[in-house]
Structures are given as C-alpha cells and as structure tokens.
A and B are shown apart, each in its own frame.
Chain A
Amino acid sequence: MAQTLYKTGITTGQTVTAAHVTQSIDAFTGGEAYNISLSGSFNMTGSIALGTPGGDLTVVGPSTLNGDTSISGNTSLVNSLVRNCTITGSLLITGSTLTVGNLTTVGSITGTDITATSFVSGSTIVGNKNGITQDNSGGAVNITMTTTTYPPASIIGITQTTSNNAVAFTLPEPEIGLHYTFTAAATSTGTGTTTFSAPSAILNGIAICADATELVESKTNFIFASTNFTKGTRLYFISDGDIWSITAYCLCETGRVSSS
C-alpha cells in the first residue's frame, strides 16, 4: 500500500531524523510508493508517464493536447451536457466510431462502409449502383426480394440460359423512393418465362417495345414470353410507398409481353 508523507516529530529545536528528509526523496525518486496530492498547479517541462502500468488518468477540467496524441485503448468522451471535440489535425481511427452528436469535418471523410440510418446528402453523389447477378443454372428462380437481400437502388443482371428454368422476381413491399433496375445480360433461352411481380396489383406504368407501347395498369405481374427477355432489355421499378411504377424497355414486340 502506498505511503503518505508525514510531519510527525518534525519540530523546531528537535532533531530531524534522516527519515524525515528522505521520505520526500523516496517519494520523488520512485523508491517507494507514496500517494501525492497537489492543490496548486503542477508544471512539468519534462515528460510525464501516467498509469504505468494500470493506473488511470482522470481529467475533470478542460484538456488541451497540443502534441501528437495516440490513444490505444477505447476512448469515451462523455458528458450529460453536450460536449464538443475539436480536432484541428487529422483523425485516424482504426476501431469503430460512434457519435451520438454530430460529426463534422472541414476535410474529407473516408471509410470502408459509410452508412446512414436516415439520409445521405451531398452536392454530388458518385458511385456505382449495387450490382447483383442471377442466373438459372441451379434450376427455376423464384425470388421474393427484400431490401436486405436486394439493397435499394440495386441493378440485377439476369442470365437465363440454362434448360427451361423460368425466372421470377417479386418486388418488396412498396416504400417511397425504393427503386430497382433489372437487365438481361443474355437473351433468355428455353421455354421458361421471365416474370416480375409486385406483392399485389400495384404495378402501374408502361412497356416501351419494338413496335409500340403497352400500358400496365394496376397489375401484379409483368411477363416476358420465353426467349423474349432479350439481351439489353431493361426494367426500372420505383415506388412512392403505395404503388410500383414500372418502365420496361423491351427489345421485343408488345405481343411478347403481358401483364396480369
């Protein structure tokens, strides 16, 4: 257990023992453990090593760290009041970062994945759509999409060239702003159809075909006849929360598509 410096027996006119004087020396050379309390200021021009090993540094007042700072443990900047952390240099975090308040940088923010639970806003947003490929080599495809398995704004490239396996996708429940693009990576073969469905009769839009256009009004399914999901065909679906708008850019004639 650490000791405390004492004054017992130190009186003018009495003999001072060596221990009276050496206790301070022991304390400040680290020869023995002493608990030191200072009520004035402590001005250090040399280096200071705190918590070696296992001690803690608790700073109640404001802290200013002007030099390079390395924090290798978990760091928590906590207060019941809103406190601000201002970093005038760069900040590199190799672990995770969680802010309850705002995170603002004058410079750039760079991360592996950047995820917002609400909106992402920028004067310009740059990046590919999320890409997903699907073929029918494993048998007939009948997929009910979710926003987890098919992230919003994904493009799904379909290759339907194995046997007679049909391909069918059912869109998620409508959600405002949710949108998907489907493309034919190769012209479909075999006897299988290619079908895109809504959860109910809420498909509304238009099919633009080689010979004319065809309307889709309050339908559940939009279907390409076998061998007519032609390479380059593109379907765009966007929802307003109630309906799914469909725009089908078809490289076949209207007689080869249908809705039901």
Chain B
Amino acid sequence: MAKILSKVGIITGNALESSFVTQSIDAFIGGEAYDISLSGSFNMTGSTFISGSLTVEGITSLSQPTTINGNVTLNNTTITGSLLLTGSISTVGNLTTVGSIIGTNITSANFISGSTVIGNKNGITQDNSGGAVNIEMTTTTYPPDSIISITQTTDNNAVAFTLPEPEIGLEYTFLANLTSTGTGTTTFNTDGPLLNGVFICSNGNLDKNDIESMGFNQTKFIKGTRVHFIANKTTWNFTAYSLCTVSDINYS
C-alpha cells in the first residue's frame, strides 16, 4: 500500500530526522510508493509517463501528436488535426467533419442525405441452374433499390419472385440477362392483389390493376427486358419494359 508524506515530528528547534527529508526523495524518485496530492498547479516541461490510469475532470488540451493505446472515453471533443482509429469509434452524439468521411460500408438506421448521391445500385444475380426458383424476398436478403439480374436458361425451371410487403419508397429492378429457355415461366408476385401498372410491349401497351401475379410466358423473358417495381404504402406499382408482344405476358 502506498504511503503518504508526513510532517509529524517536524517542529522548529527540534532535531530533524533523516526520514523527514528522505521521504520526499523516496516519493519522487519512485523508490517507494507514495500517494501524492497537489492542490495547486503542476507544470511539466519534460515528458510524463503514466503506467497507471489517468483521469482528468477538467479541460484537457493535447497540442502535440497523441497516442492512446487503451480504450478512450471522451465527452465533447474537438480535433483540429487528423484522427486515425484502428479500432472502432462510437458516438452517442453527432459526428461532424469539415472534411470528408470515407469508409468501407456506410450504414444508417435512418436516412442518408446529400446534395448529390453517387453510386451503383446494389446488384444481385439469380439463375435457375439449381432447379426452379421460388423466392420470397425480404428487404434483408434483397436490399432496397437492388437490381436483380436473372438468367433462366437451365432445363424447364420456372422462376418466381414474391415481393416483400409494400413499404413506401421501396423499389426493385429486374433485368433479363439472357432470354429465358425451356417451358418455365417468369413470374413476379405479391401477397394479395397489390400490383398495379403497365406492360410496355413491342406491339402495344397493357395496363392492369389489382393483380397478384404478373410475368412472362416461356421463352418470353427476353434479354434486355426490364421490370421496375416501386411501392407506396399499400400497393406495388410496376412498369414492365417487355421485348415481347402483349400476348406473351401473363397476369392473374
């Protein structure tokens, strides 16, 4: 247990014991453990090495390069230089930079906003080489605004996707990477008659309301066909840019 510097026995006129003097020296050369308390200020022009912990209740200013190897908890912090973190950083409050923010993935629980937003859509490919495809989409497995490229060229395996529950602003794009082959159809479904939209075909257009299923007959999901879905709160709007005739589409 660390000691405390003592003044007991130090009286004017009495003889000084060596320990009265050496205690301070022992304390400040580290020869023995002493707990030191200062009520004034402490001004150090050299370096300070602390192998224990440091707690600063007041304002801290670190004007030179700083390395902190342990975990760091900061309250309000202003860094005018650059900040390199090899671990994670978490703020309960806001994070504001005058410069740029660069990361591998940037994810927000709420919205991401910028004067300009640049980037590819999320891309997903799907083929039918493993058998018939019948996928119930979720916003986890199929992130919003994804483009799903479909290759339907194996055997007679049909392809069917069921959209998630409508959610305002949610949208998906499907694209035929190759013209479908075999006897399988290509179908897009909703849970209930929630589909409303238009087929734009090579020989005319066809609009449909309150249908539950729409798609293409066998071999008619032609390379380049694009189907775009966007939801409002309760329904899905579709636009099918179809490289086939109206008679080659199906719906129910």
Interface residues of A (CB under 8 A from B): 2, 4-7, 10-12, 14, 16, 20-21, 24, 27, 30, 33-79, 81-131, 151-154, 175-179, 203-206, 208, 212-218, 238, 240-243, 245-247
On chain B, the residues within 8 Å of A123 by CB distance are: 108-111
Cβ–Cβ contact A90 & B97, under 8 A: no
Q: Of B19, B39, B70, B74, which is within 8 A of A69 by CB?
A: B74
CA distance A40 to B52 in the complex (A): 9
Indicate whether B208 reaches chain A with its CB closer than 8 angstroms.
no
Cβ–Cβ contact B100 & A96, under 8 A: yes
Indicate whether B11 reaches chain A with its CB closer than 8 angstroms.
no
A65 to nearest B CB, angstroms? 5
Interface string of B63-91 (1 = CB under 8 A from A): 11111111111111111111111111111
With A24-B24, A75-B79, A107-B94 given, is the CB distance from A122 to B107 under 8 Å?
A: yes
With A97-B99, A114-B100 given, is the CB distance from A86 to B106 under 8 Å?
A: no
Cβ–Cβ contact B24 & A129, under 8 A: no
Cβ–Cβ contact B90 & A98, under 8 A: no
Interface string of B89-120 (1 = CB under 8 A from A): 11111111111111111111111111111111
Indicate whether B182 reaches chain A with its CB closer than 8 angstroms.
no
On chain A, the residues within 8 Å of B18 by CB distance are: 10-12, 14, 16
On chain B, the residues within 8 Å of A218 by CB distance are: 223
On chain A, the residues within 8 Å of B48 by CB distance are: 50-51, 55-58
A228 to nearest B CB, angstroms? 20
Indicate whether B12 reaches chain A with its CB closer than 8 angstroms.
no
Indicate whether B58 reaches chain A with its CB closer than 8 angstroms.
yes
Interface residues of B (CB under 8 A from A): 2-3, 16-19, 21-22, 24-123, 125, 143, 145-147, 149, 169, 173, 175-177, 200-204, 222-224, 226, 241-243
Cβ–Cβ contact A60 & B69, under 8 A: yes
Q: What 16 new A-B contacts, CB under 8 Å, besides A84-B71, A95-B79?
A: A39-B31, A40-B36, A43-B35, A51-B64, A65-B74, A75-B83, A86-B90, A88-B91, A93-B83, A93-B97, A95-B83, A100-B87, A101-B87, A104-B91, A105-B92, A110-B95
Cβ–Cβ contact A238 & B175, under 8 A: yes
Q: Of A2, A40, A48, which is within 8 A of B46 by CB?
A: A2
Closest to B102 in A: A115
On chain A, the residues within 8 Å of B241 by CB distance are: 205-206, 208, 245, 247
Closest to A214 in B: B202
On chain A, the residues within 8 Å of B119 by CB distance are: 116, 119-120, 152-153
CA distance A2 to B29 in the complex (A): 13
Cβ–Cβ contact B83 & A97, under 8 A: yes
With A84-B88, A98-B82 given, is the CB distance from A57 to B66 under 8 Å?
A: yes
B131 to nearest A CB, angstroms? 22
On chain A, the residues within 8 Å of B114 by CB distance are: 114, 126-127
With A49-B44, A75-B81, A101-B89 given, is the CB distance from A54 to B25 under 8 Å?
A: no
Cβ–Cβ contact A77 & B87, under 8 A: yes
CA distance A94 to B98 in the complex (A): 5
CA distance A120 to B107 in the complex (A): 6
Cβ–Cβ contact A52 & B202, under 8 A: no
